[in-house]
Structure 1
Amino acid sequence: MLYGIIAAIAALLLAAALAALLRRPGRRIGIVDRRRPQPLPLVGGAAVVLVTCLVAGVGEWTGVAPLGEGVGRLLVAGGAVSGLGLVADVWRLRARVLVAGTAVAAACVVPYEETGVAAGMLAVVWVVFVALAFRALDHADGLAGTVGVITAFGVGACAAAEVMDGLAVLLSVFAAALTGFLMHNWHPARVGLGACGSLFTGFLIASAAVFTRAGYGLGSSAAVLFALTAVASADVLLVVLSRATARRPLLRGGHDHLAHRLRRLGLTPQGATVLLAIGSFSGVLVGVLAEAGLAGEGALFWVAGAALVVVLLLLRIPVYGGSVRARRIASAQATGSLRVRNG
């Protein structure tokens, strides 16, 4: 317990310092998001990954906090996925490359001896889905990081309930590192998470959740896993339905995610992030209570129903059409990188 607290504090401070130090080098070598009025360095994810691996590795090497069976392999696979994301941040990669690379990494960490082959393959698909969902969720200042922190703590609580102490410590270290990064990513963002950090976040959270649910029934596990990632899943569902009904290419970028639509309702960048964080906390809380046996399947169905209602309501908000300038302004408002004066 004491080591976990010390490790989390160290991870928070190291990630905050490293993200600040990497800002200028990231801008110089061109690892930036050029869709904003001011290019945003996408080096925060690298800081989170490096600090998480360093602190967790020290605990494993010293024997103070062993990661446990399979967890070290999970961390290595997550590092490989983050490396693929870093390449995507520097050079444009096709979506199929990211999907294939993430799927291979997921296939290497799923505990088939506990899940079985069929359920294990479904787990691989789910890990890829969540990893890409967190990448898509990185569309507004502070959003992916905040939801990631909440979800990581929730999955860590599930791991602790299953007496997976090494996995619980890893997730607490990771959540602390994300919190340190958020010191630079909260609106107005000075550092971005990028594909490197967002893919790592989704992959680590999803894989850890699979570890905690291995050996349980498929139906109950699916419900708990959805509750833990309700916001990210709802964002994907919203975008897929929106683009399908508008007959737009699914893989083309757009300003049709959760935060974009909430901003069109008049919320501030911080307000949209806080509202989605509350939704994430609610789902995670239900998932943790269900994992601990303190909530039944009915509560999990309520989470799914609430997510579906939110998606259907936000679908009614128009996000397509208009001039190029109008679309750029809407995008800048959604990310919080531009304030538009009224009148």
Structure 2
Amino acid sequence: MLYGIAAAATALLLTALLAALLRAPARRLRLFDRRRQREVPLSGGPAVVLVTGAVVGAGHWIGVAPPLDDEVLELLVAGGVVAVLGFVDDVWRLRRRVLAVGTAVAAACVVPYGETGIGSGLLAVGWVVCATLGFRGLDHADGLAGAVGVVTAFGAGACAAIEVMDGIAVLMSALAAALTGFLVHNWHPARAALGASGSMSAGFVLAGGVVYARAGQGLGESAGVLLALTAVVGADAVLVLVSRRLDGRAVLRSGPDHLGHRLRRLGLTAPGATLLLASGAFSGVLVGVLAHAGWVGTDALWWVAGVALAVVLALSRVRVYGPRSPGRTVSTQVSAPLRVRNG
């Protein structure tokens, strides 16, 4: 317990410090978040990844923590690979299919097939890929990916602690603390950004940790718990994919049509939209943890899915796309509304 608290406090402070120190090098190298009109340096992602791995590994190295479990080592290594893949995407824009394939390979190396079986294990790989790319998509507003990531990490850590998986629980605690330290610089107006390296690696580690915690349990209930823990991520992904498809737009092309964009269109401030979505994430995580512990029935998981679906249907009616004209391409159609992003 004391080690977990010390590790979390260290991760928070080191991430806040490192994210600040890396801002100047990121500016010199012109590493900025492409999704923002302001030049926000991509110093948060490397800080979160490096500090999380260093804090978890240092505890074992100096002898104040138990030996690292195989699951923790696998998640750290695979998460590092995904972070490198995301960093390459930050520097040279990669196709989404490349990100998906690379993440799938990393996920296939960490899924515990002995407990899940081959069929459920392959489904888990698919879910890890979706959650990872979903977290990347959620990084569209100041503070949003970090805040939702913190809440999800606490939920994943709680699920691991219930299963007495101390290594996974400490990893989730360190990640939650690192994301909190990053939020010091990412709260509106952001002075540092996660980028694909930070958002994808965080999403991957979170998804992988929950898969380990749920391994060997019922497939249907496990799916409900996983969806509850990532309710906001899933709602954002479904909203974007469905709305672009119905509007005849390229599904994989970025646009101002995420949850945060639509809430801003309704008049919420950037911090207000982030706090509202983080509160929604907390509600889903709370239900997921209680269901994992067996303290609430599976009916509660259906309520989470129903509320998420209602939110998607309601926000899908918020107009975010500009009018079409025959001579315009998809890319020019979505460029103009980007000016109302997150201020």
Is the structural similarity TM-score above 0.5?
A: yes
- Give 3-state SS (helix, strand or coil) of 2:132's partner: helix
For residues 178-233 of structure 1, the C-alpha deviation after alignment (integer angstroms, 9 at most, x for no partner) is 00000000000000000000001110010000000000010000000000000000
Matched to 2:296, the amino acid is A
Q: Counterparts of 1:204-243 in structure 2 under 5 Å? A: 204-243=205-244
Counterpart contact for 2:71–2:168, Cα < 8 Å: no
Q: CA RMSD in A?
A: 1.5
How far off is 1:37 after superposition?
3.6
How far off is 1:327 after superposition?
6.1
How far off is 1:36 after superposition?
3.3
| Structure 1 partner of 2:297 | 296
Counterpart contact for 2:321–2:337, Cα < 8 Å: no
- Unaligned runs of 5+ residues in structure 1 are 339-343
| Structure 1 partner of 2:8 | 8
Q: Compared with structure 1, are the counterparts of its residues 100 and 34 closer, same or farther at alpha carbon in structure 2 (3 Å cutoff)?
A: closer
| Structure 2 partner of 1:251 | 252
Q: Is 1:283 paired with 2:290? A: no
- Give 3-state SS (helix, strand or coil) of 1:32's partner: coil
Q: Compared with structure 1, are the counterparts of its residues 36 and 7 closer, same or farther at alpha carbon in structure 2 (3 Å cutoff)?
A: same
Matched to 1:29, the amino acid is L
Q: Compared with structure 1, are the counterparts of its residues 228 and 53 closer, same or farther at alpha carbon in structure 2 (3 Å cutoff)?
A: same
Q: Is 1:32 paired with 2:29? A: no
2: distance between equivalents of 1:322 and 1:24? Answer: 40
Q: Compared with structure 1, are the counterparts of its residues 185 and 332 closer, same or farther at alpha carbon in structure 2 (3 Å cutoff)?
A: farther
| Structure 2 partner of 1:190 | 191
How far off is 1:326 after superposition?
10
TM-score (norm 2): 0.95
| Structure 1 partner of 2:92 | 91
Q: Counterparts of 1:55-70 in structure 2 under 5 Å? A: 55-63=55-63, 64-70=65-71
2: distance between equivalents of 1:141 and 1:332? Answer: 15
| Structure 2 partner of 1:53 | 53
Counterpart contact for 2:224–2:301, Cα < 8 Å: yes
- Give 3-state SS (helix, strand or coil) of 1:140's partner: coil
Identity of aligned residues (%): 64
For residues 140-197 of structure 1, the C-alpha deviation after alignment (integer angstroms, 9 at most, x for no partner) is 0000000000000001000000000111011001100000000000000000000000
Counterpart contact for 2:322–2:337, Cα < 8 Å: no
How far off is 1:35 after superposition?
4.7
| Structure 1 partner of 2:341 | 334
1: distance between equivalents of 2:34 and 2:100? Answer: 23
How far off is 1:59 after superposition?
1.7
- Give 3-state SS (helix, strand or coil) of 1:58's partner: helix
| Structure 2 partner of 1:19 | 19
Aligned residues: 336
| Structure 2 partner of 1:176 | 177
2: distance between equivalents of 1:157 and 1:116? Answer: 24
Matched to 1:14, the amino acid is L
2: distance between equivalents of 1:96 and 1:176? Answer: 31
Matched to 1:8, the amino acid is A
2: distance between equivalents of 1:111 and 1:281? Answer: 27
2: distance between equivalents of 1:296 and 1:271? Answer: 32
| Structure 2 partner of 1:341 | none
How far off is 1:39 after superposition?
1.1
1: distance between equivalents of 2:339 and 2:286? Answer: 32
Matched to 1:78, the amino acid is G
2: distance between equivalents of 1:110 and 1:99? Answer: 16
| Structure 2 partner of 1:139 | 140
2: distance between equivalents of 1:55 and 1:322? Answer: 50
- Give 3-state SS (helix, strand or coil) of 2:70's partner: coil
TM-score (norm 1): 0.95
Counterpart contact for 1:67–1:167, Cα < 8 Å: no
| Structure 1 partner of 2:317 | 316
- Give 3-state SS (helix, strand or coil) of 1:79's partner: helix
For residues 276-308 of structure 1, the C-alpha deviation after alignment (integer angstroms, 9 at most, x for no partner) is 001000000000001111110010000000000
| Structure 1 partner of 2:109 | 108
Counterpart contact for 1:287–1:300, Cα < 8 Å: yes
Moved more, 153-162 or 52-61: 52-61
How far off is 1:325 after superposition?
10
- Unaligned runs of 5+ residues in structure 2 are 325-330
How far off is 1:321 after superposition?
1.1
2: distance between equivalents of 1:165 and 1:224? Answer: 20
How far off is 1:69 after superposition?
2.8
- Give 3-state SS (helix, strand or coil) of 1:86's partner: helix
How far off is 1:40 after superposition?
1.0
Counterpart contact for 2:158–2:289, Cα < 8 Å: yes
Q: Compared with structure 1, are the counterparts of its residues 162 and 253 closer, same or farther at alpha carbon in structure 2 (3 Å cutoff)?
A: same
Counterpart contact for 1:18–1:47, Cα < 8 Å: yes
- Give 3-state SS (helix, strand or coil) of 2:307's partner: helix
How far off is 1:68 after superposition?
1.6
